[in-house]
Amino acid sequence: MEARRKERIDRPVKAQTDGIYALASMRNVMYLLAPRLFPALALIVVPALLPTLYLKRIICIACVYALLTLGFDFLLSTVGLVCLGGALFFGCGMYAAGALNYYYGLPPVVTIPLGTLLGALISTALLIPCLRLRGIYFAMVSLAYPLMIHRIIEATLILGGTDGLLGLDGLPNVWVELYLVIGVTLIALFGLRRLYHTDFGMVLRAIKDNDQAVRASGINITLYKAIATFIAALLGSFAGAYVAHLYMWAGPSGWALDYSIFPIAAAVVGGMGTLSGAVVGSFILAPLSEMLRAFASLRIVFYSSALIVFIMLWREGLMNWLERKYHQIERWVKV
């Protein structure tokens, strides 16, 4: 039998759509636009067509998880921090918005942006002393914070104790609930992708590649890691602040391990480092996990299994695979 190997080469259209030639033909324009525009349109149109409130709520929750996963993927693929602080961001945002509404009677239109900002500031401030830690150590600290805060709230009965802050104001109607979070998710996704290619984004990515050379280049990496963490925290805290008003409740389950573990699973399933994979992965895993609601605590088993299966068998993840198929052709060649 003759030896052969698989060859991967870029499609000609990929080179054609580099730079100004992207505008040369409608085909080129569509090659670039289609994979961005259609998924975004689908995310805007499809939820409106869903018949029941329950299904619409699932979309809301999927977006909430997508925001947390975007933060996780962003931090990992730019500055290289493995941040398991999803629950920290989420909980801080949820309690910040909840407290502003509960104690000061501010309306959601104020508490959601203010809660997002406040939650992100608090969680970033908590993480700043740990930014010098690398790899697994930062992951452990970020994982431990929400567990600790949860117990403190339960023990000291501050912020409503085990009951949480009940009877918060809801959002006006289901359309606001739906499109507020969808809008923010899309802005976050395309905003972060844009950020990757700015000079600021280059500096962030360089930190993951070689932090020593970045320091020798006169860049204060702790500052830049803190800014990146703050960006991820903004996304997570918005998710928390939004959910506080969606469920009209800010309670201890906001610190649940799910919010830290889910993003890892969703990022791996969707394809690490792509950002779009964070959203796609969340939209696959969140509805599936919703179906397992009856088995409440088994849900974390489900994320973990998805994580293990994908890491063992298909580490590339969905979007990395799709992107490769879209840009390249594969064929067998003789060697």
Partner 1 sequence: MSEEVLLKVVDLSKSFGGVKAVDKVSFELRRGEVLGIIGPNGSGKTTLVNMITGFVKPTSGKVYYRGKDITGWPPHKVANLGIARTFQTPRPFLRLSAYKNLVVPLYSPRARRIAAAGGFGDRETVAMDLMEDVGYERDSSVPYKPAAALPHGYLKRLELARCLALRPEIIITDELLSGLTVAEASTIAPLVEKLNMEGITFIMVEHRLRELFRLAHRVIVLEQGKKIAEGPPEKILEDERVKKAYMGAEVI
CB of 16 to partner 1, least distance (A): 17
Q: Is 133 in the site for partner 1 (CB under 8 A)?
A: no
Check: CB of residue 115 under 8 Å from CB of residue 100: yes
User: Residue 14 or 208: which CB sits closer to partner 1?
Assistant: 208
Q: Which two tokens stand for residue 187?
A: 């802005």
Number of residues binding to partner 1, judged by CB under 8 A: 19
In this chain, which stretch among 111-119, 176-184, 195-203, 285-293 interacts with partner 1, using CB under 8 A?
Answer: 195-203
CB of 77 to partner 1, least distance (A): 9
Q: Is 218 in the site for partner 1 (CB under 8 A)?
A: yes
Among 113, 63, 112, residue whose Cα is nearest residue 262: 63
Whole-angstrom distance, CA of residue 287 vs CA of residue 310:
18
Whole-angstrom distance, CA of residue 316 vs CA of residue 333:
24
In this chain, which stretch among 99-107, 198-206, 234-242, 244-252 interacts with partner 1, using CB under 8 A?
Answer: 198-206
End-to-end, the C-alpha distance of the chain in Å comes to 12
Tell me which of 52, 156, 173, 212 binds partner 1, using CB under 8 A. 212
What is the x/- site pattern for partner 1, positions 221-260, by CB under 8 A? x---------------------------------------
Q: Is 217 in the site for partner 1 (CB under 8 A)?
A: yes
Tell me which of 176, 219, 227, 257 binds partner 1, using CB under 8 A. 219
Check: CB of residue 220 under 8 Å from CB of residue 131: no
User: Residue 222 or 305: which CB sits closer to partner 1?
Assistant: 222
Q: Is 213 in the site for partner 1 (CB under 8 A)?
A: yes
Tell me which of 162, 220, 304, 305 binds partner 1, using CB under 8 A. 220
| Strand-strand pairing, 328-334 and 249-250 | unpaired
Can you name the residues that pair with 9 across neighbouring β-strands? 329
**SS3 at position 50:** coil
How big, in percent rounded to 5, are the helix, strand and coil portions of the chain?
80, 5, 15
Q: 82 phi and psi, to 5 degrees? A: -85, 100
The binding site for partner 1 (CB under 8 A) comprises 199-200, 202-203, 205-206, 208-210, 212-221
